[in-house]
Amino acid sequence: MANLILILGDQLTTDISALDGADPGRDRIVMAEVHEEASYTNHHKKKLVLLFSAMRHLARQLEKDGWQVHYQKYYPENTHQSLEGVISAQIADFLPDRIITTECGEWRLHDQISHWQERLKVPVEIRSDARFIASKSEFADWAEGRKQLRMEFFYREMRRKTGLLMTPDGKPEGGSWNFDADNRRKWSGKPPAPAPFRVEPDAITREVIDLVEQHFSDHFGTSDDFHFAVTPEDAQEALNYFVEFALPCFGDYQDAMSDSEDWLFHSILSPYINCGLLDPLTVCEAAARAWYAGQAPINGVEGFIRQIVGWREFVRGIYWLNMPGYAKENRLGNTRALPWFYWTGDTKMRCMHQAIDATRRNAYAHHIQRLMVTGNFALLAGVKPEEICDWYLAVYADAYDWVELPNVLGMVMHADGGYLGSKPYAASGKYIQRMSDHCANCHYKVSKSTESDACPFNSLYWHFIDRHRAEFERNPRMAMMYRNWDKQKPEKREALLQRAGYLLEHLDQL
Ligand code: FAD
Ligand code: SF4
């Protein structure tokens, strides 16, 4: 029985379940760079380079290993510009008994592939993606009957399941499940942050860079200084580099932001984990080993592992449990368009400029920039969820619908009514000042709230609190905010609302 095996652009590993039991002498692998996938959003140029180059490297490796691979390189004049087009041409050519693939990472494509069997008249087997620690049904079982889903409890289940940082008698190592309280230091330049791990582009990557520059020149960002890994071996080197040089300080400075340093002590591994170059469990095991060997402290190692077996698995579970309806949620009733400066970085707000400019150059910004700067601003300004979600999906090298959507729509925009997070992460400029040195270099004054040079986050924060009283006043985690707001003199409240009203009318000029 000959099979046609489809490997998608975020399934770039020979361990993918679609290849389980496959036979190089009998089956044919299909990989394709198609216009439909490369352009359903304004993908950052570096993301396109990463994926096309990593796909080409994997295809070359598979061929070397003796597989028959049909690989379609991107050309605008290709006859088949969708995966369905490529597969249906391959069916005509190869006459397979079956199509096999691993479940994909977004609803849009999942929906298409689940109709292939009836449309293409060939049996289609969609296998579960074993790269995740919890399967979709395992998550659904855990979630069943719970009114609100909280990551912390799910995370403990995943720690128990994997045995990561667990004592032999089933207790969390270090005596606690979570050391987050130790992970909130501001970074003032010391200790120095390691330079990001670099791989110089080889001939395949250089060819892809030219292709992207030629055919995707209107996409967001730049392909200049492309230095991502594009093979599993180099991604493994990136992991080793992180464990040795950044993990020891990862926890302490996890929430810090810097005016002069793009990467700080973050791992920069999400682009590799999400496209298959690195296995998430292997990554966590490497971090855990560093703790057992005394090379990194528990707060950093636990915090890092929590992001992967906790948050990463949790948001994926939420996505599949609630799609396709989840993408349409807008419980705070937001109506504002995304300010144009999200695409240019052209704003006098230093924190926003730095986060967007780093995003444009690197296809990367770290978590706190995404959550507390660009995300926080969109939340306070009441931007339409679908517009800010589209932005996040386009601009990061690690962005895929299953991980981007819950993070943006749920965690940042609270558009799901608190299903994912118990309270919105709304914050004034004080938070950004506490965690960064941006404010010292800003046109606006973080100490002011109502004047024409006042930090926009300050009045927008109170406007958000005021306009969403009905949604949040009874939330115990927000009660203090309402007490603080109500305690302010009426004239002060009025001035804050006026300043915010003006800003909301002039968002594009900030
Ligand atoms: P590190 O800080 O080193 O963290 C380690 C790993 O933990 C990451 O590589 C990632 O795999 C995982 N991780 C951490 N936080 C999360 C999280 N909240 N959800 C899922 N995984 C997490 N992550 C993506 O992979 N793709 C996205 O499209 C994406 N969009 C986001 C949008 C917003 C608004 C926010 C607030 C977060 C988003 N994240 C996304 C999560 C997180 O910001 C990135 O995973 C992280 O910044 C990647 O950089 P890193 O590898 O250096 O992470
Ligand atoms: Fe951002 Fe406000 Fe600080 Fe400027 S003053 S950097 S806008 S928080």
Phi/psi of residue 383, nearest 5 degrees: -75, 145
The residue whose CB lies within 8 Å of the most ligand 1 atoms, and thus the one to mutate among 270, 371, 414, is 270
User: Residues 253, 148: one domain?
Assistant: yes
Which 3 state secondary structure label does DSSP give 259? coil
Residues 6+ apart with CB under 8 A from 482: 465, 469, 472, 473
Atom number, ligand 1, closest to the C-alpha of residue 393 = 28
In a domain, 266, yes or no: yes
* DSSP sequence for 369-419: IIIIIIIHHHHHHTB-HHHHHHHHHHH-TT--HHHHHIIIIIIIT-TTTTS
Q: How far is the CA of 336 from the centre of ligand 2 (A)?
A: 21
User: Residues 386, 413: one domain?
Assistant: yes
Give the Å distances, CA to CA, from 189 to 115, 181, 185.
Answer: 54, 21, 12
Domain limit, last residue, from 67, 94, 127: 127
Domain limit, last residue, from 100, 127, 154: 127
Q: How far is the CA of 432 from the centre of ligand 2 (A)?
A: 7
pLDDT value, residue 147: 77
User: Residues 315, 346: one domain?
Assistant: no
| 406, 323 Cβ separation under 8 angstroms | no
* Residue whose CA is at the smallest distance from ligand 2 atom 5: 446
Q: How far is the CA of 278 from the centre of ligand 1 (A)?
A: 15
Question: Number of structural domains, the chain?
Answer: 3
pLDDT value, residue 47: 97
Q: What is the CATH number of the domain that holds 170?
A: 1.25.40.80
In a domain, 355, yes or no: yes
Decide whether any atom of ligand 2 lies within 6 Å of the 86 Cβ. Answer: no
Decide whether any atom of ligand 2 lies within 6 Å of the 355 Cβ. Answer: no
User: Residues 158, 94: one domain?
Assistant: no
Instruction: State the ligand closest to the CA atom of 374.
Output: 1
User: Residues 191, 76: one domain?
Assistant: no
User: Residues 25, 90: one domain?
Assistant: yes
Domain that holds residue 465: 341-509
* DSSP sequence for 129-181: -TTSSS-HHHHHHHHTT-SS--HHHHHHHHHHHH-TTB-TTS-BGGG-S--GG
In a domain, 329, yes or no: no
Atom number, ligand 1, closest to the C-alpha of residue 371 = 36
| 307, 255 Cβ separation under 8 angstroms | no
In a domain, 444, yes or no: yes
**Whole-number Å distance between alpha carbons of 305 and 310:** 7
Decide whether any atom of ligand 1 lies within 6 Å of the 414 Cβ. Answer: no
In a domain, 330, yes or no: no
Decide whether any atom of ligand 1 lies within 6 Å of the 41 Cβ. Answer: no
Q: What is the CATH number of the domain that holds 31?
A: 3.40.50.620
Q: CB atoms < 10 A from the CB of 215, how many?
A: 16
Atom number, ligand 1, closest to the C-alpha of residue 269 = 51
Instruction: State the ligand closest to the CA atom of 280.
Output: 1
Residues 6+ apart with CB under 8 A from 302: 165, 172, 173, 174, 176, 177, 178, 179, 251
In a domain, 334, yes or no: no
In a domain, 227, yes or no: yes
User: Residues 352, 443: one domain?
Assistant: yes
User: Residues 209, 235: one domain?
Assistant: yes
Q: What is the CATH number of the domain that holds 501?
A: 1.10.579.10
Q: What is the DSSP letter of 68?
A: E
* Residue whose CA is at the smallest distance from ligand 2 atom 3: 439
* Residue whose CA is at the smallest distance from ligand 1 atom 8: 270
User: Residues 56, 155: one domain?
Assistant: no
Q: How far is the CA of 426 from the centre of ligand 2 (A)?
A: 14
Decide whether any atom of ligand 2 lies within 6 Å of the 349 Cβ. Answer: yes
* Residue whose CA is at the smallest distance from ligand 2 atom 8: 429
Q: How far is the CA of 371 from the centre of ligand 1 (A)?
A: 10
User: Residues 311, 425: one domain?
Assistant: no
User: Residues 104, 145: one domain?
Assistant: no
Tens-digit pLDDT string for the chain (510 aa): 899 999 999 999 999 999 999 999 999 999 999 998 888 889 999 999 999 999 999 999 999 999 999 999 999 888 888 999 999 999 999 999 999 999 999 999 999 999 999 999 999 999 999 999 999 999 999 999 887 789 999 999 999 999 999 999 999 999 999 998 888 899 989 999 999 999 999 999 999 999 999 999 999 999 999 999 999 999 999 999 999 999 999 999 999 999 999 999 999 999 999 999 999 999 999 999 999 999 999 999 999 999 999 999 999 999 999 999 999 999 999 999 999 999 999 999 999 999 999 999 999 999 999 999 999 999 999 999 999 999 999 999 999 999 999 999 999 999 999 889 889 999 999 999 999 999 999 999 999 999 999 999 999 999 999 999 999 999 999 999 999 999 999 999 999 999 999 999 999 999
Place of tokens 């302490």: 252
User: Residues 257, 375: one domain?
Assistant: no
In a domain, 327, yes or no: no
Contacts 24+ apart (CB under 8 A), 443-447: 443/348, 443/349, 443/350, 444/348, 444/349, 444/350
Which pTM was predicted? 0.96
Domain limit, last residue, from 127, 157, 173: 127
